[in-house]
């Protein structure tokens, strides 16, 4: 089992040390655009607690993560005009997890249309614009 690293990129994003294109935030969760998206509109939802994988996440944070994901999926469908949203969670290095802070990927599109995980960086201006559109839909 992977130990939690308080300096992982998501922990640093939560603390405001690294910027992100925020889509949604509440007391227990943060959702932001994936900077290496598998498809346009790829959003990550994370709990604001120290957790590497699902079994580490306290129950109230799990409820908050899935509640946030549900809202974001609705916004993705409206803004991106896509019914299909791949909901993906990789748990452990052998499963492909590369940031060891629990997170859910919400990826608009069909599974066969997706690009390779962490292969191409997105245009930052396009991410900022899309994050703003999603935030507006959530408001």
Kindly list the catalytic residues.
103
| Contact between residue 112 and residue 86 where contact means Cβ atoms under 8 Å apart | no
Report the alpha-carbon angle 65-93-18, nearest 5: 55
Nearest to 71 by CA among 92, 36, 79: 79
Cβ count near 64 (within 10 Å): 20
């Amino acid at each position: 089992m992977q130990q939690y690293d308080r300096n992982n990129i998501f922990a640093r994003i939560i603390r405001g040390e690294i910027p992100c294109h925020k889509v949604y935030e509440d007391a227990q969760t943060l959702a932001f655009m994936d900077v290496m998206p598998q498809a346009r509109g790829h959003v990550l939802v994370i709990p604001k607690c120290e957790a590497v994988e699902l079994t580490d996440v306290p129950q109230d944070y799990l409820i908050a993560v899935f509640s946030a994901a549900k809202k974001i999926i609705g916004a993705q469908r409206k803004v991106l005009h896509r019914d299909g949203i791949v909901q993906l969670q990789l748990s452990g290095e052998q499963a492909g997890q590369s940031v060891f802070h629990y997170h859910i990927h919400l990826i608009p599109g069909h599974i066969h249309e997706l690009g390779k995980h962490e292969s191409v960086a997105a245009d930052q201006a396009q991410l900022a614009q899309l994050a703003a559109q999603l935030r507006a839909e959530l408001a």
